[in-house]
Structure 1
Amino acid sequence: MEKLYQYLPRELVTFVLVTLFSLLIGLSQRRISLKHEGETTLFGTDRTFTFIGILGYLLYILDPVDYRLFMGGGAVLGVLLALNYYVKQTQYRVFGVTTIVIALITYCIAPIVATQPSWFYIMVVVTVLLFTELKHTFTELAQRMKNDEMITLAKFLAISGIILPMLPDEPLIPGIKLTPYSIWLATVVVSGISYLSYLLRRYVFRESGILVSGIIGGLYSSTATISVLARKSRGASAQEAPEYVAAMLLAVSMMFLRFLILIGIFSRETLLTIYPYLLGMSVVSAGTAWYLHLRRKRTNEAGQSEEEEDSRNPLEFKVALIFAGLFVVFTVLTHYTLLYAGTGGLTLLSFVSGFSDITPFILNLLQGTGGVATLVITACSMQAIVSNIAVNMCYALFFAGRGSALRGWILKGFGCVIAVNVCLLLLFYLIK
C-alpha cells in the first residue's frame, strides 16, 4: 500500500478504500437481513453503510486534531441507531444488536484505514464479513455442542494459560533435569494436539468415513484409534476389511506427522536429523493405506462408518495426570539407564517404551534429560516408534478377533510398514 501512495494522493486511496470496505459490509448486511429477517428490519441499505463510512472519513479529516466533529457524528449516529433498535423491538420483535455494532464499526473504518497498517484494517474488514456470514453456522455449532464443552475449553485454557506460567522451573531431583514446568509443558503440548484432533473429529468431520476417522484419530492417539477401528471391524464383511486396515495405517501415518510437530516444538536440532525419516515413513504408511483402499471391492456401504467415532474428551485431568506420571517415570528411568547402562541400556529402554505410550519417553529425551546426544535421541525415537507400531499391530489382531477377515490384511499392511521402518533404522546405524 505504501508503494501505491507514491503514485496516488493518500487522501484518494484512503477514500476509495473506506468506500469499498463500507460497501462490502453493507452488501453483506443486506443479504443476511433479506434472507432471514426481511427488509422492514434493515437499518437502511448497502448504500446507507457506504454513506456511514464516507461520513466518518469526512468528519475525521475535517478535524484531524481534536476529532470533535468525528465524535459528534458518532454520537448522532448512535442516537439514530438507538431509535432504529427501539422501532425494531416494539413493532417487529427483533432484539439483535449486531447490525448496530457493525454500523458503528463501519463508521470507524476511516480512522483505522488512515492510521493503521494495511494488514490490520484488512483483517478488521475480513473479520466483520466472516462473522456476519457465519451467524447460522455458529447457531448450528452451538446446537451440536455437548453441555460441558465450554468447561472443556476452560480446562485447556487453565492448564495452558494459568497453571503452566505459575509452575517453577527448578529441578525436583538433584542431577535430573526434571522440573514442574517441563513436566506440565509436555502435558500441555500433547493435550493441545489431542484437543485439536477432538474438535476436528467432533465438529468438522463428524460424519466422515472410516479413512478420515483414521486420519483425525491418528493426531490424537494412533493406538486408541487402531483399537477402536479393530473392535468396529468385527461386524464388517470381507469386502470392507482392507478399508479398515487402510484407516489404521492412516492413523500410523498421522502419528509420524504428530511426532514431527512435537519434535519441532522441543528440539530443532533433532528435527533436522529425524525429519526425513518421519516424513518418509508417513508417506510409506499413507501409500500402503491407499494401496489397500484401492484393493477393496467397492460396495455402496464401504467406507461408511455408521457409529460415531470415540469422542471422549482428551482433556480429562485423569488423562493429563497419567501422561505427567509416565513422563516422570521415563525421565527417571532414562537418567539412571544412561548412568548405569549407557546408550546400550537406553536402546533397550526405547524398545520397551513401545509397549506403552511412547510420547512421554520421546519428549523427555527432547527436553535434554541426561544430556543425550542428538543422534542418540534420533535413534531411540526411531526404535520406540518401530516397537510401538509392532504393538499396535498386535492390538489390531487382538481386537479384530481370531476369525476376522482383517487378520491377513493387518499382517500384510503393518508388516510392510514395519519392514521399511527396520530397513531405515539399519540404514541409519550404518550411516552413523
Structure 2
Amino acid sequence: MTLAPSIPPILTSFSLTLLFCFILGLELHAFRRESGEKDLGFGTTRTLTLAGIMGYVLELLDPSGRILIAGFLLLGGLLGISYMKRQNENPSLIPHIMALLAYAIGPVAQREPLWFLMVFVVAILLILGKSPLIRRLSDSVPISEAVTLAIFLIMAGVILPFLPDTPIAEILPVTYTRVWLAVVMVSGVSYLSYLARTYLFPNRGILLTGTLGGLYSSTVATVVLARIAKIHSSPEIAPAIILASSMMYVRMALLVLLLGPREISLPLLLPYGGLFLLSLAAAFATSRLYSPAKNGNEASGSPLEEPVAHPLELRTAFLFAMAFLLFSTLTRIINARFGSGGLHALAVSVGFTDITPFVLSLLSSHFAATAGTIKGSIILAGGSNNLINGLYALVLSRSRSVLPALFWLAGAFLLSLGYAIFLD
C-alpha cells in the first residue's frame, strides 16, 4: 500500500497502523467516558496502539501468518483472563473486541488496498460512535425482521448458487438459475423499498407514499392512494399517483439493466429515462396547479396509517417464479403464432397484472423476435400498467382529484404505444 511513490510502502502502512489504532483508542476512551465508567481499566489509547503495533510487527516478521495467528491466540487468551477478572465491575466486551480489531489493523494495512483499510476503520468508528442509535434501532426492530433477512440470504446465497444453469424444458428455454435470479433481484428491490417505508420514513405523507410505494408496486401504491382519496379529497393525491408510476420506471430500468442482455437493456434506458422525467414534470405541474393553498380542507401533511405488506414471503417468491415461467411459455407460443402483433397485444393485456414477470420473460427467453419488438413490448407493458392504474384510481376513489393523474397516465400509455409502433 502506497500513498506516494517517494514514500516507502512499509513506512506508509506502519504510519497508518499507528494513526488508526490511536484514533480507535481515543474513540473507545470517549465512548467509555460517555457511558459513565469511572474506572476505565483495560482498553486505554496506549493499549490499543500497542496491540496494533504488535499485529503489524508479527505480520511483517512472518508473511505466512503463523506467528500472527499465535499472537492473536495469545492476546485473545490474555483478554479472556482480563474479562473474567473484571466481569463484575464491567461486563462489556467492547474494549476487548476493540483490542483484537486494533491487532488486525496492521495485517490489513500490509495486505489490503488503502480503500479497504479506510472502510474497515470507519465502520468500527461508526459502530462505536453510534452506540445509542444502534441500541434504539435494535429495540425497535422486531425479531421477525431477522428471520426475514435470513430468508433473503438463503434465497440469494444458498439456493441460487446450487441451481443448474440449464433450460427447464424444451418448450421453456429459460434456465433454473435465470428464474431464481429474477426472483432474488425483484425481491431485493422490493425489500429495500419495504425497509425504507417501514423504518426510515414511518410517518410518511401522501407524496412519499406514492414515491416509495412505486418502488415496491405502483399498482398497490395507486390502490392505497385511491382509497385515501375516497375518504378525503387532497390536492396531493394526483401527483402522488403520478410519482408512483414514475418510480415504476426506475424499478423496471434497474431490473432490466441488471438482468437483460446489453443490446436490449442499454437502449431501454433512454425511453425509461424520458418517461421518468416526463412523469416528474407532470407530477410537479399537477401539484402546482392543485396546490394546497387552493384547498382549505387539505390534510396532505399528515402521516398515513398504511399497512405495508412484507415482500419476502416464500409463498410470494414461488408465485412470482410460477408467473415468470407462465409468461415465458406464453411469450414463446404467442410470438411463434402471431409475431410482433401478438407480443404487443400480450404486453397491453398484462397491464392488468404484475408486469415484472412478463418483462423478465422477454429478457430471458430465446425466441425468434427482433430486438425492436422486445423493447417495444417491454415499454408498452409499462404504459398499459400505467393506464390500468389510472382507471383503478378513478373507479376506487370516485373522486375528481385523481383525474389529472388519469390524464397523464393515459398520455404515458399513448407515448409507449407510439414507441412500440415506431420500433416495428
How does the TM-score come out when normalised to structure 2? 0.89
2:351–2:384: 8 Å Cα contact kept in structure 1? yes
2:193–2:212: 8 Å Cα contact kept in structure 1? yes
Q: State the match for 2:390 in structure 1.
A: 393
Distance of aligned partners of 1:335 and 1:56 in 2 relative to their CA distance in 1, 3 Å threshold: closer
Q: 2:43 & 2:327 partners in 1: Cα distance?
A: 66
Displacement of 1:392: 0.4
Q: State the match for 1:371 in structure 2.
A: 368
Q: 1:328 & 1:168 partners in 2: Cα distance?
A: 16
1:272 aligns with 2:234: no
2:375–2:420: 8 Å Cα contact kept in structure 1? no
Per-residue CA deviation, residues 239-269 of structure 1 (Å, 9 max, x unaligned), is xx22122222111111001110111122221
How does the TM-score come out when normalised to structure 1? 0.87
Per-residue CA deviation, residues 248-303 of structure 1 (Å, 9 max, x unaligned), is 21111110011101111222211222211101111111222223334421589744
Q: State the match for 1:245 in structure 2.
A: 238
Q: Tell me the secondary structure at the aligned position of residue 370 of structure 1.
A: coil
Q: Tell me the secondary structure at the aligned position of residue 330 of structure 2.
A: helix
Q: CA RMSD in A?
A: 2.8
Displacement of 1:187: 1.9
Per-residue CA deviation, residues 319-356 of structure 1 (Å, 9 max, x unaligned), is 22322222222222212211221211111111111111
Q: What percent of counterpart residues are identical?
A: 35
Q: 1:111 & 1:185 partners in 2: Cα distance?
A: 36
1:291 paired residue among 263, 285, 293: 285
Letter in 1 for 2:351: G
1:184 paired residue among 171, 176, 180: 180
Letter in 2 for 1:378: K
Letter in 2 for 1:135: S
| Residues 409-420 of structure 1: pairs in structure 2 closer than 5 A | 409-420=401-412
Moved more, 132-141 or 336-345: 132-141
1:258 paired residue among 244, 248, 251: 251
2:27–2:129: 8 Å Cα contact kept in structure 1? yes
| Residues 21-40 of structure 1: pairs in structure 2 closer than 5 A | 21-40=20-39
Moved more, 147-156 or 260-269: 147-156
Q: Tell me the secondary structure at the aligned position of residue 235 of structure 2.
A: helix
Q: 2:67 & 2:175 partners in 1: Cα distance?
A: 58
Distance of aligned partners of 1:144 and 1:65 in 2 relative to their CA distance in 1, 3 Å threshold: closer
Distance of aligned partners of 1:65 and 1:362 in 2 relative to their CA distance in 1, 3 Å threshold: closer
| Residues 281-320 of structure 1: pairs in structure 2 closer than 5 A | 281-294=275-288, 295-298=290-293, 302-320=299-317
Displacement of 1:206: 1.9
Q: 2:275 & 2:199 partners in 1: Cα distance?
A: 29
Distance of aligned partners of 1:77 and 1:377 in 2 relative to their CA distance in 1, 3 Å threshold: same
Q: 1:278 & 1:34 partners in 2: Cα distance?
A: 53
Displacement of 1:380: 0.6
Q: Tell me the secondary structure at the aligned position of residue 203 of structure 2.
A: coil
Q: 1:213 & 1:398 partners in 2: Cα distance?
A: 20
Q: 2:100 & 2:329 partners in 1: Cα distance?
A: 59
Letter in 2 for 1:99: P
1:225 aligns with 2:221: yes
Displacement of 1:232: 2.5
2:350 paired residue among 353, 362, 369: 353
Letter in 1 for 2:353: S
Q: 1:104 & 1:150 partners in 2: Cα distance?
A: 27
Displacement of 1:428: 5.6
Q: State the match for 2:141 in structure 1.
A: 145
Q: 2:402 & 2:415 partners in 1: Cα distance?
A: 20
Displacement of 1:369: 4.0
1:19–1:54: 8 Å Cα contact kept in structure 2? yes
Q: 1:171 & 1:104 partners in 2: Cα distance?
A: 49
Q: 2:282 & 2:41 partners in 1: Cα distance?
A: 57
1:196 paired residue among 186, 192, 213: 192
Q: 2:43 & 2:74 partners in 1: Cα distance?
A: 15
Q: 1:78 & 1:430 partners in 2: Cα distance?
A: 69
Letter in 1 for 2:291: R
Q: Tell me the secondary structure at the aligned position of residue 39 of structure 2.
A: helix
1:41–1:88: 8 Å Cα contact kept in structure 2? no
Q: State the match for 1:52 in structure 2.
A: 51
Q: Tell me the secondary structure at the aligned position of residue 206 of structure 1.
A: coil
